[in-house]
Amino acid sequence: MATSERRWQPVMLPGAPAPVGAYSPGVRAGNLYFVSGQVPRDPRTGELVGDDIETQTRQVLANVRGVLEAGGASLGDVVSVIAYLANTDDWGAFNDIYRETFRAPYPTRTAVGAELRGILVEVSAIAYLR
């Protein structure tokens, strides 16, 4: 299917380098907005931010916010989150930072343990836009 025939629109981050992998940071499909898994890297420099779960979680959620805003959405529009944790024992610390970022009523959320190749946390999200 040609790009002009797609029923969805990729969203890139202005001023940020293009992703190294074959993916879009965000995709708008009708009223849904999908945010690819965000990692604790500075979106401008690509440098890894922090070496503890709290710092990395803050950076990851800031990156999620940035991709949402690039597509005209906000954290308040998020309806579902998937969190990947390198160490499931970090769930409590992750949850504390998550609660500082999202407000009740909270989106649905799944948290799973995963091998993350040198990082502690990754988060993807789905938002609903009216």
Task: List, for residues 69-103, the tens digit of each pLDDT value.
Answer: 999 999 999 999 999 999 999 999 999 999 999 99
Task: Give the global pTM.
Answer: 0.93
**C-alpha separations of 45 from 17, 18, 41, 125 in Å:** 8, 11, 8, 23
- Per the CB < 8 A criterion, the answer to whether 81 and 108 are in contact is yes
Res 5: pLDDT: 77
Distance CA 64, CA 66 (A): 5
Distance CA 106, CA 22 (A): 30
- With bands split at pLDDT 50, 70 and 90, how would you rate the model's confidence at 3? low
What are 110-120's pLDDT values in tens digits?
999 999 999 99
Res 19: pLDDT: 82
Residue among 109, 118, 49 nearest 83 (CA): 109
Q: Is 11 helix (H, G, I), strand (E, B) or coil?
A: strand
Res 30: pLDDT: 95
What are 27-49's pLDDT values in tens digits?
999 999 999 999 999 988 889 99
